[in-house]
């Protein structure tokens, strides 16, 4: 079962070249060596929070816990701070409601992530609504719901719905549709602190015949 460690930061203006060199040549290989597979790095195109979302995954929560206390990881993080600010992390685990998650992401993928808290007195209604109505609707609208995540460690909102799309123009049209707007209003009856973000690739993982590499996109 994949567990995610997400890193969030903004690049210090004027440090872009040094940051890109460090990210590709030291940070990504370094965390990968500790068992934290770098899935992708994303730029936030629309939505508040951090400029960059760096996505690691592991099959075991214990691997993430060990990495976070590893001297090599702490050294990499200190060096990263020369190039970024506003650094945060979140540890995400699967809620079990939906799971189409894959660490192989097509190069044309755009993410539509939604975040919220479940109202404590509406948990049963929420569970039925997202399983039977909301997530099926997103899939019909071209948003593949890869997984619903629970934030185990880190600031909220506590639920992240990870959606993947291949056409940003269709996404924008569908987000303005009556069907989606009506469903979102119903979702807000059982949740609170709703937020959403659209993300595009910052670094994409390329798979070769015998190896993999990482390519800076934005």
Domains and CATH numbers, the chain: 3-216 (3.30.70.100)
Q: Is 153 exposed, middle or buried (0-12, 13-18, 19+ CB in 10 A)?
A: middle
- pLDDT, position 215: 87
Q: What is the pLDDT of residues 28-64, one digit of tens each?
A: 999 999 999 999 999 999 987 889 999 999 988 999 9
The burial class, CB within 10 Å (0-12 / 13-18 / 19+), for 130 is buried
- Binning pLDDT at 50, 70 and 90, where does residue 201 land? very high
**How many angstroms separate the CA atoms of 193 and 117, rounded?**
6
**pTM for the model:** 0.91
- The yes-or-no verdict on residue 126 having pLDDT over 90 is yes
Give 59-74 as a DSSP string. S-HHHHHHHHT-HHHH
Compute the Cα dihedral for 119, 122, 127, 128 and give only its sign.
negative
SS3 label, residue 106: coil
Region 186-201: mean pLDDT is 97
CA distances to 89, 136, 143, 201 from 98, in Å: 23, 10, 13, 24
Place of tokens 């469903």: 183
pLDDT at 98: 84
Residue 27's pLDDT band (boundaries 50, 70, 90)? Answer: very high
Whether the CB-CB separation of 146 and 163 falls below 8 Å is answered with: yes
Closest by CA position to 147, among listed 28, 10, 35, 55:
55
Q: Are 195 and 48 in contact (CB under 8 A)?
A: yes
Contact 27, 83 (CB under 8 A): no
**Closest by alpha carbon to 199, among 185, 218, 181?**
218
Residue 1 has pLDDT above 90, yes or no: no
3-11/37-46 β-pairing: unpaired
For the chain, the average pLDDT equals 93
């Amino acid at each position: 079962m994949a567990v995610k460690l997400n890193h969030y930061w903004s690049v210090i203006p004027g440090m872009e070249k040094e940051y890109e060199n460090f990210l590709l040549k030291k940070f990504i290989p370094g965390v990968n060596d500790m068992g934290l597979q770098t899935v992708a790095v994303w730029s936030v195109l629309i939505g508040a929070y951090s400029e960059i979302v760096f996505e690691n995954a592991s099959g075991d929560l214990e691997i993430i816990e060990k990495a976070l206390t590893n001297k090599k990881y702490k050294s990499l993080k200190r060096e990263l701070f020369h190039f970024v600010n506003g650094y945060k992390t979140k540890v995400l685990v699967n809620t079990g409601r939906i799971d189409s998650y894959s660490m192989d992401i097509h190069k044309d993928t755009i993410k539509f992530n939604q975040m919220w808290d479940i109202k404590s007195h509406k948990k049963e209604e929420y569970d039925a609504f997202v399983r039977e109505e909301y997530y099926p609707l997103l899939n019909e609208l071209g948003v593949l719901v890869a997984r619903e995540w629970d934030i185990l460690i880190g600031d909220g909102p506590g639920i992240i719905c990870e959606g993947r799309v291949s056409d940003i123009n269709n996404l924008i049209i569908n987000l303005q549709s009556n069907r989606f707007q009506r469903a979102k209003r119903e979702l807000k009856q059982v949740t609170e602190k709703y937020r959403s973000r659209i993300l595009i690739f910052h670094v994409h993982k390329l798979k070769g015949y015998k190896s993999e590499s990482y390519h800076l996109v934005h």
